[in-house]
Homo-oligomer: A and B are copies of this chain.
Amino acid sequence: MSEVRDEVEALARRAKRAARSLAAAPTAKKDAVLRRVAAALRAPESEDVLRANEEDVAAGADLSPALRDRLKLDRARLDGVARALDEIVELPDPVGQVVHSHTLDNGLEVQRVRAPLGLVGIIYESRPNVTVDAAALCFKAGNACLLRGGKEAFRTNTALATVFAAALEAEGLDPASVSLIPTLDREATRAMIELDGIVDVIIPRGGEGLIRFVAENARVPVIRHYKGVCHVYVDRDADLDKALAIAMNAKVQRPGVCNSMETLLVDAAVADAFLPKVAAAMREAGVELRADERARATIEATPATDADWDEEYLDLVLTVGVVDGVDAAMDHIARHGSLHTEAIVTEDHDRAERFLREVDASCVLVNASTRFNDGGQLGLGAEVGISTTKLHAYGPMGLGELCTTRWIGRGAGQVRA
């Protein structure tokens, strides 16, 4: 065992002990910690965090402008993080929520109740706000967390973890409840994902490379969120005005997120009527179009390559294809979809219901934008990500999904016959 491994294991064991006491912490106590963190992030208390962030940004001179922008915290962004904490305080505590209850014939009263998972490991890349968001969600759900942030944000993350530790101590809770890996050594990530029996689950947040590395090397269960290659299929019985509004919203309202549309599939029966309109609107919004041969019979676009159909652009780029009806659309989605979000636009009830039933994705929509696959929109509140793993959580992971359920029974001496 290397020193780094020993250090990570010792840290994880302390966090796991903290998890045990946290599981029984009252809601008011947890909310008081979150309120303290929010207050500490608001001016003027957050000078330390901003100073640490300036050092990170200065040290990251060779990062791309996009990465530097994700790394940067300013007063306005910190206020945003504090507001997110306020919202988490307002969410109901999931721990102890009864999801099912019944009484056996012999009088034993059983309930299935939500309970914390234990120790949640979060591995993420450059955005330092994840340190607070993810830790706060884990914490409200009664979990301790072990955080492994990106190296570019190390000083910022350390300052943010210090804020959390101070708030925990002020409320008499174990500061190890929110533990940040205190080294940049890459061995630490590998050590963390091998701590089966100590870390209960790993949630990687970041690019496909990170997630694949974690999934392939972890001994601990992993909840993965690979890419979102989301489709909108415009059926022959679509209301084409709705289809246009949905396609535009799904592509351009926020192209950099995983629930935005990457591929538009159009039924051949309405291709001539719909494609010129949508192509013009997309172009006006600055969207680059790549299309198959059948679509290019009607609109001008770059020929789509084989790779385009599997690409998560996260940008103002759209692949457009023409298909022969809903079966061909569903076949295409089964081949190229990423189990994330899929939508059909149609006024035909039977086809809509077939699409809902037969398409496999964490969220399937009829006549609505793919952008609705989001914890806030679906009523879960804040989320730590959108899972495309079917085990445990499929779709947005909110407070409820950061819990397990267990059974409790209150009896009067019952035994089995």
Expressed in whole angstroms, the Cα–Cα distance for A198 and B108 within the complex equals 42
The reply to whether the CB of A256 lies closer than 8 angstroms to some CB of chain B is: no
Instruction: Please tell me if the beta carbons of B408 and A356 are within 8 angstroms of each other in the complex.
Output: yes
Number of copies: 2
Q: Which residues of B contact A248 (CB under 8 A)?
A: 415
Q: Which residues of B contact A115 (CB under 8 A)?
A: 360, 394
Expressed in whole angstroms, the Cα–Cα distance for A415 and B259 within the complex equals 13
Partner of A245, one of B253, B356, B413: B413
The reply to whether the CB of A46 lies closer than 8 angstroms to some CB of chain B is: no
Interface of chain A, helix or strand or loop or mixed? mixed
Partner of A117, one of B104, B215, B391: B391
Interface residue ranges of A387-417 to B (CB < 8 Å)? 389-392, 394-395, 404-416
Instruction: Please tell me if the beta carbons of B378 and A407 are within 8 angstroms of each other in the complex.
Output: yes
Expressed in whole angstroms, the Cα–Cα distance for A416 and B250 within the complex equals 8
| A412 touching B369 in the complex, CB below 8 Å, given contacts A23-B360, A406-B362 | no
The reply to whether the CB of A246 lies closer than 8 angstroms to some CB of chain B is: yes
The reply to whether the CB of A219 lies closer than 8 angstroms to some CB of chain B is: yes
Expressed in whole angstroms, the Cα–Cα distance for A378 and B111 within the complex equals 9
Partner of A406, one of B219, B379, B394: B394
Q: A248-B415, A363-B407, A364-B406 are in contact. List 17 more A-B contacts (CB 8 A).
A: A20-B360, A104-B372, A108-B368, A108-B372, A118-B360, A223-B391, A249-B415, A360-B406, A363-B409, A364-B408, A365-B408, A367-B411, A368-B414, A378-B407, A392-B392, A394-B404, A395-B406
Partner of A366, one of B222, B390, B409: B409
The reply to whether the CB of A361 lies closer than 8 angstroms to some CB of chain B is: yes
The reply to whether the CB of A297 lies closer than 8 angstroms to some CB of chain B is: no
Expressed in whole angstroms, the Cα–Cα distance for A241 and B110 within the complex equals 22
The reply to whether the CB of A200 lies closer than 8 angstroms to some CB of chain B is: yes
Instruction: Please tell me if the beta carbons of A372 and B20 are within 8 angstroms of each other in the complex.
Output: no
| CB nearest to A118 among chain B residues | B390
The reply to whether the CB of A102 lies closer than 8 angstroms to some CB of chain B is: yes
Least distance between A359 CB and chain B CB atoms (Å): 9
Q: Which residues of B contact A411 (CB under 8 A)?
A: 365-368, 372
A-B residue pairs in contact (CB < 8 Å), sample of 24? A23-B358, A24-B357, A104-B372, A108-B372, A110-B379, A117-B390, A117-B391, A221-B391, A239-B413, A246-B415, A249-B415, A363-B409, A364-B409, A366-B410, A367-B410, A368-B413, A368-B414, A369-B415, A369-B416, A371-B416, A378-B407, A391-B391, A394-B406, A395-B407
Number of residues in A with C-beta < 8 Å to the partner? 69
Expressed in whole angstroms, the Cα–Cα distance for A416 and B365 within the complex equals 13
| CB nearest to A345 among chain B residues | B413
Report which A residues bind B (CB closer than 8 A): 20, 23-24, 96, 102, 104, 108, 110, 115, 117-118, 196, 200-201, 215-216, 219, 221-223, 239, 241-242, 245-246, 248-250, 253, 334, 352, 356-358, 360-369, 371-373, 377-379, 389-392, 394-395, 404-416
Q: Which residues of B contact A377 (CB under 8 A)?
A: 104, 416
Expressed in whole angstroms, the Cα–Cα distance for A246 and B365 within the complex equals 51
Instruction: Please tell me if the beta carbons of A414 and B367 are within 8 angstroms of each other in the complex.
Output: yes
| A390 touching B404 in the complex, CB below 8 Å, given contacts A108-B368, A409-B365 | yes
